[in-house]
A and B are shown apart, each in its own frame.
Chain A
């Protein structure tokens, strides 16, 4: 049993506590510690990724209590993939935040690290109740981060965000309780075993609990009709936080993928088998359509990006909703791409807000931006990236998704919504780009007119995220091979269950 598996949990927790002990005044030391922890988490995640890539399912039993009696952490391909995305994203979000966002209020770095603790925990845990606890950890940190900096818009959107997530937590507990009451276990692998031999008298309760879980995860993934909290919360918060939150909807998507392939997947008895399948695809398509419609109707840049996050959540859930190797593989590729692209757009929006002074990011003709060619060029590249135009990663993600849809009976619907959605996204972004960069008049804001070198250094995290987008294209084949292997691993849960419940046997069996 390697202790490496628990390191992505301990690192942010330790860093968060140490930063808290440093005190509020020592901002430079806080920043250094926070950056160091995030920088260290990248090689750690890559190490786990390289292990998982060989097909190894690393199981870590906390306190050495064997599953299903103790809590286990499981690092399979999917978990390692999500950990890597989180580590890379958080590094760039933090690199942006240390340039000023973290001054708006105390304890930014503590909350940031605890948020990462919750995220990594949710991705690693192999226990349903533990998943609830890590959801609460990441939510509690995110409540603080959403409100970071204060202001009326943030308070109002934050209130909605907190209340709907509290209701979600209550529903999660009802579902967990019902599952425990019938099946007597909360370990995900053990749940899968128990559900495979579920007596018919109990399928009704388990079905209700399983669909209740879908509601909870749909709140997190902002699936229609539970998306209402997202645009306000994401558009209102500070840029570094919004960038980190690009991964938050993906926690819901991850949980849907994990629970409905492992517990309610191929091995479950009739009645609870593929429980999410009839719901996920139509709702994901509706979410995608709504996100694009919202992006067209938005009156400000950050609101528009928030709706694009919604559209991207819809797109990747379309892939997951196919419940096929190709579909899940395409969805995971799109997940990586859309997380980086949305984060980069939020960071760029921050520069645009500062550059336009009192006009902020509203879609009205305002003063010209400083360095319009540079910022306009970056906006153009990001728009191409997120709209899914060639030659950037979004295009390949959508292409893989459309190919995966070929085998689905809902082929016409998927192609129509994804393609028309893509076209409307291009129109929406072209309109905002021309408003922001061409219809400008008056004099540039004096205080924002900083030298080119400084502007470039402030844009560095965005270039980093763009480079990741490019890497997804250049290494596209390797990434798609990995996501395909991930999907295959998810759709055949037997090795996962074996690794969790009989760890010694599998270790001996391995050459």
Chain B
């Protein structure tokens, strides 16, 4: 189970990093969301993965799971959720105010496909 979870965290993080490096706000927001998912699972696992154990010390139980990471994850989820909502609103506002969804607010007045064609033309000429 540990290996599976570690791979999941790795894939989530890698995808998140790739998406946050994109030039448009929507992939960046998705990337940030995936990064926060990865870190939530990571935090949760720091109390060690265990199945069917109570989160408190009981004499009849075989052991216990650490409840603190669960509390930390809960805090991180709440904060991450609020931040995602905020950054979505901000991205929409940037789209409205800057006229496009590029993270630097390029003022080309072209949509993405038109810009690609434009770029291709320039490359053709060069």
Contacts and interface: CB of A to CB of B under 8 A. Distances in A.
Interface of A: 129, 133, 136, 140, 143, 147, 150-152, 155-156, 158-160, 162-163, 166-167, 169-170, 173-174, 176-178, 180-181
Contacts of A174: 39, 42
Interface string B4-43: 0000000000000000100001001000100110110011
B66 to A, nearest CB: 8
B72 interface: yes
Contact of A133 (B75, B87, B103): B75
Contacts of A166: 32, 83, 87
A136 to B, nearest CB: 5
B86 A143 contact: yes
Contacts of A181: 45-47
A contacts with B: majority SS:
helix
A152 B107 CA distance: 11
Interface of B: 20, 25, 28, 32, 35-36, 38-39, 42-43, 45-47, 68-69, 72, 75-76, 79, 82-83, 86-87, 90-91, 93-94, 97-98, 103-105
Contact of B43 (A133, A162, A173): A173
25 contacts: A129-B72, A133-B75, A133-B79, A140-B83, A140-B86, A143-B86, A143-B90, A152-B97, A155-B97, A155-B98, A156-B105, A158-B90, A159-B94, A163-B28, A163-B103, A166-B87, A167-B32, A169-B79, A170-B38, A173-B39, A173-B43, A174-B42, A180-B43, A180-B46, A180-B47
Given A129-B72, A133-B79, A155 B94 contact: yes
Q: Most chain-B Cβ atoms within 10 A of its Cβ — which of A147, A163, A167?
A: A163
A162 B90 contact: yes
A178 B72 CA distance: 13
Given A156-B98, A163-B32, A166-B83, A147 B72 contact: no
Contacts of A180: 43, 46-47, 68-69, 72
A417 to B, nearest CB: 31
A162 B46 CA distance: 27
